[in-house]
Structure 1
């Protein structure tokens, strides 16, 4: 199998951007996060990681581990700006890019005629020269192994995993390195003495399927070098909404019930996709098939069902003229990927 899948991960991204913009932070332990002690660490640079500090750790705990720790507030717009610079460079090497988050992605370079190793080296060199940021890159023949490879020797690391390396190269890895093993399944495995990939390798496919269902089959294959997931480019959605036709009515209680139900449905859809939004539009259609809409854009990102319902009722009161309605629709636009918003607890 050809090694034509690349995983790119920007090293300690938020902290690296802060060091890039403020040279005085270089060679000091730095974390990006909320400024109160009850906030959490979003990103720790490699100096801070030497003290055992990691993301999602409370700031007060990080300070206890390192008295000289420097805490820098989150600057989301700046990180989005630098992320775009990196992804613009990557787009020159492949049209097939799957963006996983603000600082990592997969590339399928099967259509690129250049040598795959040369492509990796060019990516690392060009990103460093043009953005000032370093990336760690993994190269393999599937997504799982490419991800494992990019994490092998950070920062600014490069690793190739070929089919000839399987399974030996994986055996000593902790089970948390296997895609698909989350906190719950990790706990279940450790409870039965399964801590490494080598331990996992001893389990039969039948056992894994009986205890973990479809994921058990995928885990069995994955640690044997089989991962059939394709690199799938993310197509940014412009809007997401709920719209229904119903028996014509002018009963406000019934119409409000529809709005409440649609708000819950929209909230659930957004939550499943980890999206928020800034603009809400309500659409109504009367019994004569005449349509009207009303929209509102807010500065803050809307996430909760309560906010959706409240805003929907507000817009409805502005657009509704006591006529009999046969359709109501609620649409969220100006979508925001919540994966790219790091929340701090204040």
Structure 2
């Protein structure tokens, strides 16, 4: 397939006002903090996970990743893949302290910081406090300060919007910097597999391939009406992203009403076979909740049946969960309140936190220019 690339036709490049966005992602954050603080772990495979046969991996050092160990992998599988790995229990108090130190570095450059979790954030540096001439210079300085002051590494992506910056930060991991200039957007995007689009998971990617969509360029050639017929309201978002369009601003101090994570199974499964996924989602939600300045008192379990019927079970607690194990236990207990018979199959499961309550006042941890001007 050949798609003409025209800078003048690119909505990103032709916009009168372009943002300068930096996405910073700490490299193997939890595992890197453990290696930094314990010299005996440096250069060795490290897996951060709670103890227990049914635990899943929270983070893996790059030494462990060479053996195929990844976040969300069952801990037993990680142990089988990398028997020599050192398993370390997560220490979120320490991780939050480091995250705050990273945030302090960010604040030297801009107040427009949108944390996504403890280890990553978006920064709008269209105007930066240091008066550096380009966003690239800002990203370089931030990475240098993190390395020199915290003895950790971070990868960064620089682009005209959040969508592109997120992709860019992953491009040269670990310890890398990648810049997408406005005039390079189409030539960069079109060859990418659709799975590189944030939010396109395995299920959506499979649906796309079933209708002949393998690359962003394939998406680019389709009319909006065609995409909406295949993907509903998400079709508009895909239409825009294929053209490098993302108008979402960096929102500092975003107040979360809820935090959740969900997954669709490749094949429908009975309720009894959802435990591992619930544990994985609970750990994912727990990690995300630690980038929030408030605490949630309500735990929610969401399920969708094979017939696409949705149901939820929730529990509001006197006080917020104090550990991932507690959150996981509550989510699994909520599953016991689902009475639909052993033959009922489910296609989706989700875990969430809601009913956020204001905590003591404390700083939240992590996580337009002329188009010819360089980022």
Q: CA RMSD in A?
A: 3.3
Cα distance change, pair 227–31 in 1 and its aligned pair in 2 (3 A)? same
| Residues 153 and 278 (structure 1), Cα distance of their counterparts in 2 relative to 1, 3 Å cut | closer
Closer, same or farther: CA 225–278 of 1 in aligned 2, 3 Å: closer
Are 2:41 and 1:25 equivalent residues in the alignment?
yes
> Hey, what's the Cα distance between the residues in 2 that align with 1:188 and 1:154?
28
Residue 4 of structure 1: aligned partner:
20
- What is residue 171 of structure 1 aligned with on the other side? 190
Seen in structure 2, the aligned counterparts of structure 1 residues 58 and 180 have a Cα distance that, compared at 3 Å, is closer
Contact kept, 8 Å, 2:189 with 2:244, in 1: the verdict is: no
Measure how far apart 1:185 and its partner are.
2.0
Is 1:155 aligned to residue 174 of structure 2? Answer: yes
CA distance in 2, matches of 1:193, 1:43: 35
Distance 1:91 1:70 in 2: 35
Q: TM-score, normalised by structure 2?
A: 0.64
- Structure 1 residue 171, shift from structure 2 partner: 2.9
| Cα pair 2:27 2:153 within 8 Å, conserved | yes
Match of 2:280 in 1: none
Please name the residue that 2:75 is paired with.
59
Q: 1:89 and 2:105 equivalent?
A: yes
1:303-346 CA-to-partner distances (Å, cap 9, x unmatched) read: 669x9xxxxxxxxxxxxxxxxxxxxxx994439xxxx9xxxxxx
The residue number in structure 2 matching 1:117 is 136
Aligned to 2:221: 202
- CA shift digits 1:279-302 (9 cap, x unpaired): 89xxxxxxxxxxxxxxx7678368
Q: CA deviation at 1:36?
A: 2.4
* Alignment partner of 1:42 is 2:58: yes
3-state SS in 1 of match to 2:322: strand
Tell me, what secondary structure is at the counterpart of 2:188? coil
In the other structure, the counterpart of 2:340 is none
Aligned 8 A contact 1:9 1:104 in 2: yes
In the alignment, is the contact (CA less than 8 A) between 1:278 and 1:334 conserved in 2? no
Counterpart-to-counterpart distance in 2, 1:6 and 1:204:
31
C-alpha contact 2:186 2:243 (8 A) present in aligned 1: yes
Instruction: Flag structure 2 segments of 5+ consecutive residues without an equivalent.
Output: 1-12, 259-284, 299-317, 334-354, 366-375
Superimposed CA distance per residue, residues 29-49 of structure 1 (whole angstroms, 9 cap, x where no aligned partner): 111012223211111111111
Aligned-pair CA distance for 1:152: 0.4
1:40-96 C-alpha deviation (Å, 9 max, x unpaired): 111111111111111000111112212212111111101001111001110111011
Note the 1:294-313 alignment, pairs <5 A: 300=322
CA shift in 2, pair 1:300/1:155, >3 Å: closer
Shift in Å, 1:174: 2.6
Q: 1:331 to 1:58 in 2, by over 3 A?
A: closer
The total of aligned residue pairs comes to: 269
1:101 pairs with 2:123: no
Shift of the 23–93 alpha-carbon distance from structure 1 to 2, 3 Å rule, reads: same
Shift of the 96–195 alpha-carbon distance from structure 1 to 2, 3 Å rule, reads same
Residue 121 of structure 1 aligns to a residue whose secondary structure is helix
Distance in 1, matches of 2:55 and 2:297, equals 29
